[in-house]
Structure 1
Amino acid sequence: MFLFKRGAIYQLEFFDEQENRIKRVSTKSKTKPEALKFLTDFRKQLSCKLTFKYISLNQFRDEYLEYVSTCLTKNYHKSINVSFHFLFDKINKDTPLIRLNAKDLEKLLSIKFQTNPHVALCHYRNLKSAFGKAVKWNYLTNNPLKSFSLPKPPQLHPLFINKDELDLILINESDNNLKDFYSFGFYTGMRLSEIINLRWCSIDLQQREIKVQNTKEFTTKNKRDRVIPINDTLYQILSERLPKIISINESEYVFSNANGFRYSPFYISKKFKRAVRETKLNDKIHFHSLRHSFISNLIQRGCSIYVAKELAGHSQISVTENYAHLRPENLRNAVELLN
C-alpha cells in the first residue's frame, strides 16, 4: 500500500485480498498530510473489511435458499428464488456480494414498481431480508437496502362473494366432489393448501371441530395450529361424504381424486376459475376469494375482527383489517340513514 501523485491529486494503490488484485483509489487530496490521513483511515476500513467473508451473489443465493428451506415454508422459498432471478436479470450473478451497489438496487426496484408495484414490493421485502441475513453472517458490513423504501402501493380490496354467488358457481360445476371442495373453502376460510392436505384425523364431527394442524408433510403459513368450528352446512357436507369413503381411516384425505390421491393446487384453481367464467361473474375472482369471502362475510355480520383473525389464522391483526371492507351497497345503506 503506497501513495503516489497523479497530477495534483494523491492516489493510493493497494492489494485487495478478497478480489485478489491490485486496485487504486483517489485520496481527493492535494497535500501529503491530508493524503496520509486518508491512508490511515483507509487502512482501518480495509482491516475491518477483511474480517468479512468473500462470497459471490450466486453463492450467497444458494446458501440462503438452503437456510430458508430448513425453517420457512416452501412458498416463501419459491418466492425468494424468484426475487433472486429478478436480480440476476440485471446484475451478474458472479458479482461479489460486497460489491452490490445500493443505487443500482434502488433503481432496479423503482423501475419494477412503475409497472407492477405489488411485485416490486415483494422483491424488495425478500431481498432486504436476505441481505439482512448476509450482514449477520458477516458477508456484508451494511444492508444495501436498509435506508431505502418503496412507496406504499395503492390498496386493493380483496374480492369476495356472497352465498347467492357461491350457489351460481356450484351450479356451473358438474363434479360433486369439487362442489363440496368449493363450499368447504367458503364456510371455513381455509387456504387452498390447507384443504388439500386435510385428513379425516383432523376432523371431529362429534365435537364439530376442524383442526388445522402442522404435520410432517405439511406446514401452515404461520406455522400455528388453529381450530375452526363446524357449522350446520359444513356438518352436512362432511356427514354425506363419510359413506362415500371406502375403508375409511384417519390417514385418508378428506378431498381426493378417484385414485385416492390429493388434488393439486393448480387443478383446483383451474377448475374453479372455469366455473367462475361460466357463471359470468368478475373474472378476477379466484379460489382464494373464498377465503376473503369467509372473513369479510363474518365481519359484515358483526363478528369481532379479533375472532375473525383467530379463525383465519392470521399472525397479525393488521392482515385481518385488510379484509374488513364493505360492499358498495353497505356504504349506500349507511348514507341513506341520513335521509
Structure 2
Amino acid sequence: MAKTTWSKTKFPGVRYREHETRKHGIQPDKYYTITYKHNGKTKTEAVGWASNGVKPQDAANLLGELKSNHAQGKFPQTLKQKKEMAEAQLKEERLLEEARHRAEISFDEIWKRFYEPQAKTNKSEKSWKREESLYRLWISPAIGKIPFVAVSPTDLEQIKQSMSQKDRSPRSIQYALATVRQVYNIAKNLDIFSGDNPVQKTKIPKTDNRRIRFLSEDEASQLLDELRTYESNIHLIALVSLYCGLRAGEILNLEWRDIDFDNDMILIRESKSGLARHAFMTKQVKRELEGLRKSSPKSAQIVFGGKDGNRRYEIPRAFSKSVTKLKFNEDHSDRRQKVVFHTLRHTFASWLVQRGTPLYTVAKLMGHSTLAMTERYAHLAPDNLKAAVAVLDD
C-alpha cells in the first residue's frame, strides 16, 4: 500500500492530502487536517474535504479558535469537543422544540392522531360510535382547540354545563368525562403527556342508572306470545335472555358449537367482563333450540344469524314493537322503569331471588364480576333475610 503523502499549506498547522482519483473542479480533491498542542500532546484532527466546502482558511480559523479557547480556559478546545457541543446543542434545541409542540398540540390533534386509531381498533363498533358522537357533539366544541396540556377542570365543567342545558342524562355526562379520561390515559401510556389527568379533579355527576323494573309472569307470557307472531327468531332470542340470563350481545354472538345439548349448557365465550362462563338451559329453551338447530342449514355457525346467515348486531325491532303494542311503557316516564330487551335479563335475576336462590349463585349465573352488582336484588327476598336473622332466636 502506498504511503499517504501530506502537504503543508501557507497556514501553520493546516495540512492536506490529495485523493488518488476524485477531482474537485480540475484539481484533485483535498482532505484537510489541523495539528496542534493540547495539554502537552500533539493532536491531529480531521476537518474535511474540499469537495464538502472546506477551505484552508476555514481550517486555519478553526485552529485559531481552538488555540484561543485553550489559552483562555474556555471550551471547546478540541475539534471533537466542538462537534460534541454542537450535537448537544442540537439535541437540546430539538427537545425544546418538542416541548413547545407538546405545549401547543390541541386536544383535537391528540384525539385524531393517537386516540381515534386505537379506539377504532380495540373497541366494539357500538362503543366507538358512542364515544365519537360524544366527542363530536360535546367534547370537541368545549376543549378541542385548547392545548392538551392546558385543559383544566374548569374547561371540563363546560362539557357538563352544555350537556345539562340540553337535558342530557347524568349517565351520558359520566360517559363523556370517562372518554376524556381515557384520552389522557392513552397519551400518558404513549409518553406524550406527563401531567395530571384533569378529569380526576372534576366532580362526576352521580346517578343510579340501573334498571329497577322486571316483568311479572303474566307480562312475560304476554310478551312471549306477541313475539311468536313475528319471524326473525325474536321469540327464541327473548326466551334465552329471560330464562338463561344472557345479555343481548352474548345471545347474538352465540355459535352452534357453544350449545351443549347433552349437558343442557350454553357457553358464553365473549362476556362483558371478558371472562367466559356457562349458562344453563331450561327444558323449554333446550326444546326450542333443538328445533331451530334442525331447521337451520347444517353449515350454519351463528345460532341467531340474519337472513344472510351472518351475525346480527342489534335485537330485531319486533321486540320494541311488541312492547309498544302491549303498552308496557305507557305510564312510565322514568327510563329505569321502561321495558327494554335488557329487562328480560333483569327479570331472570329477580325471579331467581324471589324463589330463594342465593345472591352468590345469581351473581355467577349473571356473570357479575362482583357480588355488589347483584345486591340490588336483595330486597326481593325479604323473607330470606328475615329468616337469616331469626336463627339468633335459637
- TM value normalised by structure 2: 0.62
Alignment of 1:22-101 (within 5 A): 50=99, 53-54=102-103, 55-62=105-112, 63-88=114-139, 90-91=141-142, 93-101=144-152
Aligned equivalents of 1:70 and 1:315: distance in 2? 25
**Secondary structure, counterpart of 1:210 in structure 2:** strand
The amino acid that maps onto 1:307 is T
CA apart distance, 1:258? 4.0
**Secondary structure, counterpart of 1:263 in structure 2:** coil
CA apart distance, 1:207? 1.3
Aligned partner of 1:302 in structure 2 is 356
Q: Is the 8 A contact 1:169 1:279 kept in 2?
A: yes
The amino acid that maps onto 2:309 is G
Aligned equivalents of 1:57 and 1:120: distance in 2? 18
Q: Does 1:254 align with 2:303?
A: yes
Match of 1:279 among 304, 326, 340: 326
> CA 1:296/1:210 → structure 2, altered by over 3 Å: closer, same or farther?
same
Q: Does 1:317 align with 2:387?
A: no
Q: Compare relative contact order (CA 8 Å, sep 6+) and give the higher one, 1 or 2.
A: 1
Please list the CA deviations of residues 163-191 of structure 1 after superposition, one character each: whole Å capped at 9, or x if unmatched. Answer: 32121012223125221121112112211
**Secondary structure, counterpart of 1:75 in structure 2:** helix
The amino acid that maps onto 1:79 is R
Q: Is the 8 A contact 1:189 1:291 kept in 2?
A: yes
CA apart distance, 1:238? 1.3
Please list the CA deviations of residues 13-56 of structure 1 after superposition, one character each: whole Å capped at 9, or x if unmatched. Answer: xxxxxxxxxxxxxxxxxxxxxxxxxxxxxxxxx98x93983532
- TM value normalised by structure 1: 0.71
The amino acid that maps onto 2:264 is R
Q: Does 1:120 align with 2:173?
A: yes
Q: Is the 8 A contact 1:135 1:143 kept in 2?
A: no
Q: Is the 8 A contact 1:208 1:230 kept in 2?
A: yes
Aligned partner of 2:82 in structure 1 is none
- Report the number of matched residues: 275
Q: Is the 8 A contact 2:115 2:183 kept in 1?
A: yes
Aligned equivalents of 2:325 and 2:304: distance in 1? 24
Structure 2: stretches of 5+ with no match in the other structure: 1-94, 331-337, 387-394
Aligned equivalents of 1:152 and 1:196: distance in 2? 32
Match of 2:186 among 121, 133, 141: 133
CA apart distance, 1:92? 5.6
Match of 1:195 among 251, 271, 296: 251
The amino acid that maps onto 2:170 is P
Aligned equivalents of 1:64 and 1:289: distance in 2? 34
Q: Is the 8 A contact 1:190 1:291 kept in 2?
A: yes
Aligned partner of 2:55 in structure 1 is none
Aligned partner of 1:21 in structure 2 is none
**Secondary structure, counterpart of 2:102 in structure 1:** coil
Please list the CA deviations of residues 248-286 of structure 1 after superposition, one character each: whole Å capped at 9, or x if unmatched. Answer: 24x522123444334340x51x21011111112225211
**Secondary structure, counterpart of 1:228 in structure 2:** strand
Aligned equivalents of 1:79 and 1:316: distance in 2? 26
> CA 1:225/1:205 → structure 2, altered by over 3 Å: closer, same or farther?
same
Which 4+ stretches in 1 moved above 6 angstroms?
none
> CA 1:106/1:258 → structure 2, altered by over 3 Å: closer, same or farther?
closer
Match of 1:175 among 208, 217, 230: 230
CA apart distance, 1:203? 0.5
**Secondary structure, counterpart of 1:146 in structure 2:** helix
Aligned partner of 1:186 in structure 2 is 242
> CA 1:165/1:261 → structure 2, altered by over 3 Å: closer, same or farther?
same
**Secondary structure, counterpart of 2:142 in structure 1:** coil
CA apart distance, 1:321? 2.7
**Secondary structure, counterpart of 2:200 in structure 1:** coil
Aligned partner of 2:56 in structure 1 is none
Aligned equivalents of 2:351 and 2:205: distance in 1? 31
Aligned partner of 1:233 in structure 2 is 284
Aligned equivalents of 2:116 and 2:369: distance in 1? 23
Q: Does 1:224 align with 2:271?
A: no
Aligned equivalents of 2:255 and 2:116: distance in 1? 30
Q: Does 1:143 align with 2:193?
A: no
**Secondary structure, counterpart of 1:302 in structure 2:** coil
The amino acid that maps onto 1:279 is L
Aligned equivalents of 2:100 and 2:182: distance in 1? 22
Aligned equivalents of 2:268 and 2:324: distance in 1? 30
